[in-house]
Amino acid sequence: MEIYKDLNNPDNQQFEKLLNSQLSKVNIEEGKIIEGKVNKITEKYVFLHVDGLKSEPVLDINELKTMGLHEKIKIGEKISVLLEKLEDKMGEVVVSASKAQKIKGWDKLVEAYEKKEPIMGKITSKCKGGCIVEHIETGSLMFLPGSQISDKPLKDISHLMNEPQKFALIKLDKVRGNACVSRREIISSFKKEDKAKIIDKYKVGDIIKGAEVKGYSTFGCFFNVNGELDVLVHLQEISYSRVNHPDEVFNIGEKHDLKVISVDKEKLQVGCSVKQMSPDPFEHIQNYELNKVYKVKVSKIMDFGAFCELEPGLTTLLHSSELSWTKKNVSAKKMFKVGDEIDCIITEIDKEKRRVAISHRLTLENPFEVFKKKYPVGSIVSGEVINKNEYSLFVKVEDINLDTFLHCNDLTYLNNGEEELSKYKKGDKIQVKVLEIRIEEQKIRVGYKQTQKDPLDWFADKKKKSNYNCQNNFYR
């Protein structure tokens, strides 16, 4: 370098000028992405030329294969690489094409995230908790949570694999270099635009014909309108009568007419009413009388009874306890079907609570009253043992469908009652005496030993006769 100290020499001045111009063009720093020109391609390596470097950087051919660039690389083409080291222990320049690609991809992801723009990607594989998505433009890998795949549960996503589609960037970790994307957000945004156009068609007061019951909630019932919109009917808008849960009134798949009562274009919600399709029946509830028979229509059958309509909009519960006089825990499903018209008596009307109570059994003859008239206390009747437990028998009277109660203590005068009970089985014929009838409690008590002569009475009679004979002998 000593020969270039004399800058008065024209040759030295020219060399300085050339050197400075060359260094100003090339800014070589470790950790920067630089452009390299392909000079040579062998079976194992790709040699690059980069202005300003003292030697040619070398790329492993396998690195390019994993990136999918092996077949695209040709002599004379440029490729971006990350300059890791200007000189390693062997004096070689260390570069990486895959790391350059990741850095470039990350920069583009950051830009898209900040601008809230969607990116193009494809689902390449499944992983724990979701899927791996590859950014088509840069090849960067991102995580797609299972909950963000679609706006509804999908059992099979094979039709989505390796298909180019849009994703929304929902989270970036710049420290770890991780990206999280969502397909669901893209779908929802499209649906939101479509839903806004659909909701514009509705206004308060419109009548929706034939909306289908889609699902229940504790606060109301959801209806599907023409397969394009789900609307909510709040619990208070289902019926003028009190409703605890929508399944008391509706069945999934049923169709009902609805009236639009609210339209929220910001929340994209439409509120509807079923009860407003008819006038409030409680305004003329005074037309109904207590203890009078009315025809009601069975609208829904439950485990605990049946819901019946006195008129459209006036629904009341016929509880299972009001179905029959004699059958306990009777099932409404075995007695009625939806659409049946049955006779019922109104037992209560509470206008403040908007409640009407009805009974079906009161329209039928009370078998306990019939029994009392036909077999008053003291009567001897024939029956059949239909059931037993550890302390009693249940005897069915032959000509009246009633079960009477026979306690084991009323079986015999002599033996232990429980021992005597073991001698009886279902189907045995037996004559019993009516001991007690309680109509209000629906109970009839009978006894078997009361049909026999009491041994104590026989003993008393015998003792009485003995005393009489002794007195006569004394006077003789």
Instruction: Look at residue 366 and give its three-state secondary structure.
Output: coil
Does residue 375 sit in the same domain as residue 451? yes
User: Is 91 contained in some domain?
Assistant: yes
For residue 342, give the H/E element and its range. strand 341-350
pLDDT of residue 473: 46
Calpha distance 233→260 (Å, rounded) = 9
Does residue 47 sit in the same domain as residue 81? yes
User: Is 195 contained in some domain?
Assistant: no
User: Is 147 contained in some domain?
Assistant: yes
pLDDT of residue 371: 85
Calpha distance 140→133 (Å, rounded) = 8
Total of domains in the chain: 5
Does residue 106 sit in the same domain as residue 157? no
Does residue 109 sit in the same domain as residue 131? no
Does residue 315 sit in the same domain as residue 348? yes
Question: What DSSP assignment string belongs to 194-223?
Answer: HHHHHHTT--TT-EEEEEEEEEEETTEEEE
Which residue, of 252, 277, 302, is where some domain finishes?
Answer: 277
Does residue 209 sit in the same domain as residue 246? yes
Q: What is the pLDDT along the chain (476 residues), one digit of tens a residue?
A: 444 556 667 777 776 666 555 544 446 777 777 888 888 888 788 888 887 777 788 888 887 777 767 777 788 888 878 787 887 777 788 888 777 777 777 778 888 888 888 889 999 998 888 999 988 877 778 899 988 888 777 888 888 899 999 999 988 886 676 889 999 888 777 666 677 788 888 889 999 998 999 888 888 999 988 877 888 999 889 887 778 888 888 888 889 999 999 988 888 888 999 888 888 888 888 888 898 999 999 988 888 888 898 887 788 889 988 888 777 778 888 889 888 999 999 999 888 888 889 999 888 888 888 888 888 888 898 888 988 888 899 998 877 778 899 998 888 887 788 888 888 888 889 889 999 988 878 889 999 888 887 776 655 555 555 554 544 444 44
User: Is 2 contained in some domain?
Assistant: no
Does residue 66 sit in the same domain as residue 77? yes
pLDDT of residue 7: 62
Asked if 160 and 123 count as a contact pair (C-beta separation under 8 A), the reply is: yes
Does residue 322 sit in the same domain as residue 244? no
User: Is 442 contained in some domain?
Assistant: yes
Does residue 311 sit in the same domain as residue 358? yes
Contacts of 282 (CB under 8 A, 6+ apart): 240, 314, 351, 354
Does residue 67 sit in the same domain as residue 93? yes
Computed from CA positions of residues 70, 74, 77, 82, in that sequence, does the dihedral angle turn out positive or negative? positive
Domain containing residue 143: CATH number: 2.40.50.140
Which residue, of 277, 295, 328, is where some domain finishes?
Answer: 277
Q: DSSP alpha helices (H): ranges in 40-182?
A: 61-66, 97-115
Does residue 165 sit in the same domain as residue 218? no
Which position has the token pair 């893209």?
186
Decide: residue 277, CB within 10 A, 0-12 exposed, 13-18 middle, 19+ buried. middle
User: Is 434 contained in some domain?
Assistant: yes
User: Is 380 contained in some domain?
Assistant: yes
pLDDT of residue 463: 54
Does residue 94 sit in the same domain as residue 122? no
Computed from CA positions of residues 378, 381, 386, 390, in that sequence, does the dihedral angle turn out positive or negative? positive
User: Is 169 contained in some domain?
Assistant: yes
Structural domain harbouring 381: 371-455
pLDDT of residue 475: 41
Which residue, of 245, 261, 277, is where some domain finishes?
Answer: 277
